[in-house]
Structure 1
Amino acid sequence: MTLHANQFAARSPLYRLQAGATLAHFGESCIVTTYGQGDESALLGHCALLDLTSLARYGLRGPAAADYLVALGYQLPQAPNQALSQADGSHVLRLSQTEYLLLGSLHDAGSKAQREESQWQASAGQYLLPRQDSHAWLVLTGTCQAEVMAKLCGVDLSPQAFAVGQVAQTSAARINVIIANLPLGEVPCLHILCDRASVHYFWGALLDAMQEFGGQPVGIDALP
């Protein structure tokens, strides 16, 4: 049976722009598996854009946030504006001395991150920052990613200046963004989190910047 985004209570704010794409169940939501534009996996290493907004994420802040996450089994970045991929495919971004952002894993459709958020226990020195409804999550892949972002962002995101594991909290296309350099397997990836209410505009700005390089949106079936 063909799935449609309006069958789900939770869906990406980009769902109207993804009409015609093939969808699959993804946790309690849905996600694009392919846009039907030929071999999308071939675009990954060059210039492609994924929408991971349906994947779970949450934040923690406070002097005890690090201890809370370590108790959950996470390895933490050593300094602010650094990120670390985990063995299970999730990612931890350290945004300040005491604030962390957890990005769920594609391997389990974000179920572990979603469960941790729902089971969060209040305690002195740390508090939860829900991010599912505040931030959208896009991933720009390929060797052209720095050139694409140079059209939208004043920060040098070239591999020489923005190494794997670095985080930039800046603006792109005149909106605030969080950018993390975290490959997916061997594929170069910039994970970009922006205001959910602005993602419709930002998606279009990215696709416009990608045109010069032949970039296109791809679904998760393109990933290794």
Structure 2
Amino acid sequence: MTSLKAEVFLAPSPTPFQPCLLTDLSELPRVGFRGADSAAYLQARGYRLPERPNQALRQGDGSWVARLSQTEYLLLASFADRGVRVASEEARWVQDEQRNYLLPRQDSHAWVQLSGDECSAVMAKLCGVDLRAQAFALGAVAQTSVARINVIVVNVGSAEVPVLWILFDRASREYFSGAMLDAMGEFGGRIVEVDDLMA
């Protein structure tokens, strides 16, 4: 499978229709924190946190924080700074008396972006959760199964540019990408490189 580079958000198209695109974001940093003190730790680091599990919030720098449970958070890098901020969170963490434990995700989880007007139709082929915009709003998080693989899905798009981020077991990267491309075929879906997005 071709190694893909990443763009986090798509620039608005001059045409109303957004094509179905798959982009690999796996080279961007991501890291998790879990524990009773994790919320206070992240807030002290300047992050705004979702109020409830299965929600995500966009940060001022373009990164996102997804809340996966009462005490677990996943930080997803901003393309604007090439993930420097999120990478630094992992690098600077040290275990102390706080109940705040690092969960490295760079090697465990692959990360892809599915974008375009047919996002929910593509996902409906592979997933039993309703991911249409009216049911799965901006900032919604689903921990579910897609193509028989456990995944985390985050809606980071908009009404103008639908975008889903999908994280899953990195060992399944080739299989999962193939399943996604097969599901996208009906809609003329294709892989896109970061250079293509920024052209």
Amino acid corresponding to residue 74 of structure 1 in structure 2: Y
Cα deviation, 1:87-144, whole Å, max 9, x if unaligned, reads: 1010000000000000011011111111110101223211000000000000100110
Moved over 6 A (4+): none
The one-letter code matched in structure 1 to 2:85 is K
Aligned counterpart for 1:171 among listed residues 145, 155, 170: 145
Corresponding residue number in structure 2 for 1:18: 2
Alignment partner of 1:54 out of 18, 23, 27: 27
Aligned counterpart, 1:158 = 132
2:63–2:75 CA contact under 8 A, matched in 1: yes
Matches within 5 A, 1:166-205: 166-183=140-157, 186-205=160-179
Measured after TM superposition, the shift of residue 185 of structure 1 is 10
Look up the match of 1:113.
Answer: 86
Gaps of 5+ in 2: 8-12
SS of corresponding position for 1:32? coil
User: CA shift at 1:58, angstroms?
Assistant: 0.3
For 1:71 and 1:211, the matched residues in 2 are separated by: 45
Q: How does 1:20-99 map to 2 (within 5 A)?
A: 32=5, 45-99=18-72
SS at the partner of 1:88?
coil
Say if 1:41 and 1:223, in contact at 8 Å, map to a contact too: no
Contact persistence 2:35–2:100 (CA under 8 A): yes
How far has the Cα of 1:183 moved from its partner? 1.8
Bigger shift: 181-190 or 79-88? 181-190
1:147–1:72: structure 2 CA closer, same or farther, 3 Å change rule?
same
Instruction: Determine which of 96, 100, 121 is the counterpart of 1:147.
Output: 121
Q: Distance in 2 between matches of 1:188 and 1:179?
A: 13
Aligned equivalents of 1:154, 1:138: Cα separation in 2? 19
Q: Deviations over 1:29-61 (max 9, x none)?
A: xx6379xxxxx998x922101100000000000
Normalised to the residue count of structure 1, the TM-score between the two structures is: 0.80
1:158 deviates by: 0.5
Amino acid at match of 2:183: A
| Whole-Å separation in 2 of the counterparts to 1:205 and 1:164 | 25
The alpha-carbon distance between structure 1 residues 170 and 110, as it changes in their structure 2 partners (threshold 3 A), is: same
| Equivalent-residue separation in structure 2 for 1:187 and 1:119 (angstroms) | 35
Rounded to whole Å, the distance in 2 between the matches of 1:108 and 1:75 is 18
**Where does residue 104 of structure 2 map in the other structure?**
130
SS of the counterpart of 1:108? Answer: coil
The whole-number CA distance in structure 2 between the counterparts of 1:149 and 1:143 is: 12
Give the conservation status (yes or no) of the 8 Å contact 1:45–1:142: yes
Per-residue deviation, residues 15-42 of structure 1 (Å, max 9, x unmatched): xx227xxxxxxxxxxx6379xxxxx998
Deviation digits for residues 144-172 of structure 1 (CA, Å, limit 9, x no counterpart): 00000000000010111111110000000
